[in-house]
C-alpha cells in the first residue's frame, strides 16, 4: 500500500529526549517507538484515505505518524496530557506541508463528545457499509475497559460516533482483555465483556504485541482488536437490562448459571422465579455461564422482562445494594419488607 512521504522529522525516541517526556504511570503511558510496528498496527485499521480518523491518546505521536502516512482526509487526536503539545504540533505542521489536516484536542476521552468534531456529511444508514470514520488508539490500560463498555452502550443507542453509522474501531487492549473480547462460549476467558462486545459488534483479534515493544515495558502483553458494529445486533434488548442480566449470570462464574440469575430476585422468590426464567427461556438451569451464547442470554433477558411486567415491583430490587425486599404484590400499596439479605 503506497504511503505518504513526510518532511524529515526526529524519531519518537529523539522527541522524548528533546522535550524531556517521561512516561506517567497514572496516565498509563507506554509508548511504541518502532515505526514498523506502528505501520503494521495502522494497516489493520483498513483504508484510511478519504476517512476522518480519530486517534485516542496519541502521546508523542508514534501511531499518529503511521496514520498520517496513510493520508486520512482529516486526523483528530484526543490527548489528556498537554506535555505532548510540541511534538503533536510538529506532526500537524508536517502533515499541513503536504496539504493534510490534523486537529489536536486536549481533553479526556471518557467525557469528550466525538460526534461534535465529525461532519454530518459522512453519515451512513446503519445497514449501509461502514462510514468513512475510524477510531484508532493504543489505549491507556486504565481506561480501556470502562471506555469500551461506554462505547458499546453508544453503539447500542447509535449515539456519539455511531450516530454516523457503524464506525469501526481498531484499538489495543491488555492481552487478557483482548482475549476476553473475542472469547466464544466454552472458552475459559468467556465473561461479561465477551457477551457485551459480541452482542453489538464483531471483535477481531489481529495479533499480540509483546510488552517489550513498549517504553516503559508494561507487565503485560497487548492485543490489537478491531470492533465492527453489527448491522443487526444479536440482542433486541436495551443495553442496560442486557448488561444487568449478563452481569448477574457471570457473578458466579463456576456455578450453574441459575445461581447468578436468582440474584435478580429477592431471597424469598429466588428459587421459584429463577426456575421460571429458565422455563420461559427454554434453557437448562444447569448450564454454566461460560457455555451460554449471546442468543441464550437474549432469551433470558426476554424472560426477565416478562417477569418485570408481571411483577412491576421487582424492578426496585437490587442485589447486595438493596436492604429491602419489595413485595411481588401488584396492589397499589407497595409493601416494603426489611430484610437482612
Ligand atoms: N499513542 C502513543 C503510542 O502508541 O506510543 C501513546 C499510547 S499510551 C499507551 C496512552 C496515551 O493515552 C497516553 O498518551 C496518555 O497520556 C493518553 N491518555 C491517558 N488517559 C487518557 C484519557 N482519559 N483521555 C485521553 N488520553 C488519555
For the Cβ of 260 lying below 6 angstroms from any atom of ligand 1, the answer is: no
**What are the distances in angstroms from CA 47 to CA 61, 149, 212?**
20, 26, 28
Asked whether residue 337 is domain-assigned, the answer is: no
Distance 29 CA to ligand 1 centre (A): 6
User: ipTM of this complex > 0.95?
Assistant: yes
pTM here is 0.92
Of 16-30, 51-65, 79-93, 172-186, the range with the lowest mean pLDDT is 16-30
274 and 160 assigned to the same domain: no
Residue 41 has pLDDT above 50, yes or no: yes
Q: Which residue has the cell 418485570?
A: 308
Q: Domain containing 118 — which CATH number?
A: 3.40.50.150
264 and 186 assigned to the same domain: no
109 and 147 assigned to the same domain: yes
Domain range enclosing 142: 12-229
118 and 38 assigned to the same domain: yes
- Exposure on the CB side of residue 33, measured as CA atoms within 13 A: 16
Asked whether residue 294 is domain-assigned, the answer is: yes
The residue to mutate among 16, 45, 56, 59, having the most atoms of ligand 1 within 8 angstroms of its beta carbon, is: 59
CA-CA distance, 65 to 42, in Å (whole number)? 10
Distance 81 CA to ligand 1 centre (A): 8
- Give the chain's domain count: 2
Asked whether residue 329 is domain-assigned, the answer is: no
22 and 43 assigned to the same domain: yes
User: From atom 21 of ligand 1, which residue's Cα is the shortest distance away?
Assistant: 80
Map residue 284 onto helix, strand or coil. Answer: coil
For the Cβ of 31 lying below 6 angstroms from any atom of ligand 1, the answer is: yes
Buried b (16+ CB within 10 A) or exposed e, 41-62: bbeebeebeebbbbbbbbbbbb
Tell me the residue length of the chain. Answer: 341
For the Cβ of 58 lying below 6 angstroms from any atom of ligand 1, the answer is: yes
Computed over its alpha carbons, how large is the radius of gyration of the chain? 23
222 and 301 assigned to the same domain: no
For helices 294-310 and 192-200, give the axis angle rounded to 10 degrees: 90
DSSP bridge pairs for 331: none
Which of 177, 199, 229 terminates a domain? The answer is 229
List pLDDT tens digits, range 202-231: 999 999 999 999 999 999 999 999 999 999
Return phi, psi of residue 125, to 5°: -75, 160
Q: What is the dihedral of CA 136, 110, 124, 48, to 10 degrees?
A: -10
List pLDDT tens digits, range 245-297: 999 999 999 999 999 999 999 999 999 999 999 999 999 999 999 999 999 99
57 and 110 assigned to the same domain: yes
Q: Computed from CA positions of residues 131, 133, 138, 141, in that sequence, does the dihedral angle turn out positive or negative? A: negative
Distance 108 CA to ligand 1 centre (A): 10
Residue 333 has pLDDT above 90, yes or no: no
Strands 133-137, 168-174: pairing kind? parallel
Distance 132 CA to ligand 1 centre (A): 23
For the Cβ of 82 lying below 6 angstroms from any atom of ligand 1, the answer is: no
Distance 58 CA to ligand 1 centre (A): 6
Asked whether residue 331 is domain-assigned, the answer is: no
Point out the annotated binding site for S-adenosyl-L-methionine: 30, 32, 57, 79, 108, 138
279 and 176 assigned to the same domain: no
Give the atom of ligand 1 at the shortest distance from the alpha carbon of 109. 24
Q: Computed from CA positions of residues 300, 244, 145, 50, in that sequence, does the dihedral angle turn out positive or negative? A: positive
Asked whether residue 301 is domain-assigned, the answer is: yes
302 and 220 assigned to the same domain: no
Q: Which residue has the cell 427461556?
A: 281
Distance 162 CA to ligand 1 centre (A): 22
50 and 173 assigned to the same domain: yes
Asked whether residue 287 is domain-assigned, the answer is: yes
Return phi, psi of residue 276, to 5°: -65, -40
List pLDDT tens digits, range 133-181: 999 999 998 899 999 999 999 999 999 999 999 999 999 999 999 999 9
* The pLDDT value given to residue 2: 64
User: From atom 8 of ligand 1, which residue's Cα is the shortest distance away?
Assistant: 29
59 and 185 assigned to the same domain: yes
Q: Domain containing 243 — which CATH number?
A: 1.10.8.100
201 and 244 assigned to the same domain: no
Asked whether residue 68 is domain-assigned, the answer is: yes
Amino acid at each position: 500500500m503506497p504511503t505518504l512521504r513526510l518532511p524529515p522529522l526526529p524519531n519518537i525516541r529523539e522527541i522524548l529526549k528533546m522535550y524531556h517526556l517521561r512516561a506517567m504511570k497514572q496516565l498509563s503511558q507506554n509508548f511504541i517507538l518502532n515505526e514498523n510496528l506502528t505501520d503494521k498496527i495502522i494497516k489493520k485499521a483498513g483504508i484510511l484515505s478519504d476517512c476522518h480518523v480519530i486517534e485516542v491518546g496519541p502521546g508523542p505521536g508514534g501511531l499518529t505518524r503511521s496514520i498520517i502516512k496513510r493520508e486520512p482526509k482529516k486526523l483528530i487526536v484526543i490527548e489528556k496530557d498537554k506535555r505532548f503539545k510540541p511534538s503533536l504540533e510538529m506532526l500537524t505542521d508536517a502533515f499541513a506541508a503536504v496539504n493534510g489536516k490534523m486537529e489536536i484536542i486536549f481533553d479526556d476521552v471518557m467525557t469528550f463528545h466525538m460526534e461534535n468534531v465529525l461532519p454530518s456529511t459522512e453519515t451512513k444508514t446503519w445497514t449501509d457499509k461502514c462510514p468513512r470514520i475510524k477510531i484508532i488508539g493504543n489505549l491507556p490500560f486504565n481506561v480501556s475497559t470502562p471506555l469500551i463498555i461506554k462505547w458499546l452502550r453508544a453503539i447500542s443507542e447509535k449515539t456519539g460516533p455511531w450516530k454516523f453509522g457503524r464506525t469501526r474501531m481498531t484499538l489495543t487492549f491488555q492481552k487478557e482483555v483482548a482475549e476476553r473480547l473475542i472469547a466464544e462460549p466454552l472458552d475459559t476467558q468467556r465473561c461479561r465483556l465477551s457477551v457485551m462486545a459480541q452482542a453489538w459488534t464483531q471483535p477481531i483479534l489481529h495479533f499480540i504485541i509483546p510488552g517489550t515493544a513498549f517504553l516503559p515495558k508494561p507487565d503485560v502483553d497487548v492485543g490489537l482488536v478491531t470492533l465492527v458494529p453489527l448491522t443487526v445486533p444479536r440482542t433486541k434488548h436495551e443495553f442496560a437490562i442486557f448488561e444487568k442480566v449478563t452481569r448477574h449470570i457471570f457473578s458466579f462464574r463456576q456455578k450453574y448459571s441459575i445461581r447468578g440469575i436468582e440474584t435478580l430476585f429477592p431471597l424469598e422468590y429466588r428459587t421459584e422465579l429463577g426456575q421460571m426464567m429458565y422455563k420461559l427461556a427454554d434453557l437448562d438451569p444447569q448450564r454454566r455461564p461460560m457455555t451460554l451464547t449471546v442468543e441464550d442470554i437474549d432469551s433470558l433477558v426476554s424472560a426477565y422482562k416478562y417477569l418485570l411486567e408481571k411483577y412491576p415491583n421487582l424492578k426496585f430490587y437490587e442485589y447486595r445494594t438493596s436492604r429491602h425486599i419489595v413485595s411481588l404484590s401488584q396492589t397499589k400499596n407497595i409493601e416494603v419488607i426489611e430484610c437482612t439479605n
